[in-house]
């Protein structure tokens, strides 16, 4: 029922994003284009455009639409940008990013999630997405540096590996804090310095890996 879901996407933008200050036209267009309902289980598709996160299996979640939009808008992506995403999950955030930049490299540590996301990217013909199964806290050095990095899981600090892979002038968005509550921070690399600002109080699943939390 494509008309039903298109209407739901428009309502999501009108009622959830615009009133909370999401005004970047590229972000709004990407959120209206990407079929969020396809990234959740069939039984949850009717709830896909609600103002909340949803489970996607293996203890992971798809973030609330507002948080996806806030992180995306914060990165200020340009068409030529190359982006690294840590934590593919169901693939929705990567799909949104892919509508705004030249290439998205996304890393996931759970093979069933990565395989499912990759199949969906192919189905939707999102051809500028590349997936890798690995420890995301170590980034993807082979393709560095990146114009932007997004981390969709929470760590006690930004992994040094990710900071080292951020280009001069690059932006990094990540939830930082404890396992239960965090601050969503935006970091800009300017003249070799890392400038931090806080966007929102959030709750994300933990970032597991060598430079994150242990299991």
As annotated, the active-site residues are: 63
Which residues, in sequence order, are CB contacts of 6 under 8 Å at separation 6+? none
* Residue whose pair of structure tokens reads 């806290």 in the numeric block: 137
Length of the chain: 215
Give the burial string for 95-120 (b: 16+ CB within 10 Å, else e).
bbbbbbbebbbbbbbbeebbebbbeb
Strand, helix or coil for residue 168: strand
Question: How do 103-108 and 129-133 pair as beta strands?
Answer: parallel
Angle, alpha carbons 66-41-212 (nearest 5°): 60
Task: State whether the Cα torsion 8-87-121-56 is positive or negative.
Answer: negative
Helix, strand, coil abundance in the chain, percent, nearest 5: 40, 30, 30
SS3 assignment, position 33: helix
Q: Dihedral (C-alpha) 48, 88, 119, 11: value to the nearest 10 degrees?
A: 20
Please name every residue paired with 132 in a beta bridge, in sequence order, or none if there are none. 107
């Amino acid at each position: 029922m494509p008309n039903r879901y298109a209407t739901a996407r428009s309502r999501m933008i009108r009622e959830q994003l615009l009133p909370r200050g999401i005004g970047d036209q590229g972000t709004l267009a990407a959120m209206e284009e990407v079929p969020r309902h396809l990234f959740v289980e069939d039984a949850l598709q009717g709830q896909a455009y609600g103002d909340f996160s949803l489970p996607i299996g293996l203890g992971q979640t798809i973030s609330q639409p507002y948080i996806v939009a806030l992180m995306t808008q914060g990165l200020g992506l340009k068409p030529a940008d190359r982006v690294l995403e840590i934590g593919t999950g169901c693939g929705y955030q990567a799909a949104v990013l892919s509508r705004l930049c030249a290439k998205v490299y996304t890393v996931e540590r759970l093979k069933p999630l990565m395989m499912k996301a990759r199949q969906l990217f192919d189905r939707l013909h999102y051809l500028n997405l590349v997936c890798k199964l690995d420890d995301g806290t170590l980034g993807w050095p082979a393709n560095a540096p990146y114009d932007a990095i997004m981390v969709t899981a929470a760590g006690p600090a930004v992994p040094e590996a990710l900071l080292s892979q951020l280009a001069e002038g690059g932006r990094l968005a990540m939830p930082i804090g404890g396992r239960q509550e965090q601050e969503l921070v935006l970091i800009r690399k300017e003249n070799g310095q890392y400038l931090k600002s806080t966007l929102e109080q959030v709750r994300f699943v933990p970032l597991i890996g060598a430079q994150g939390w242990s299991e």
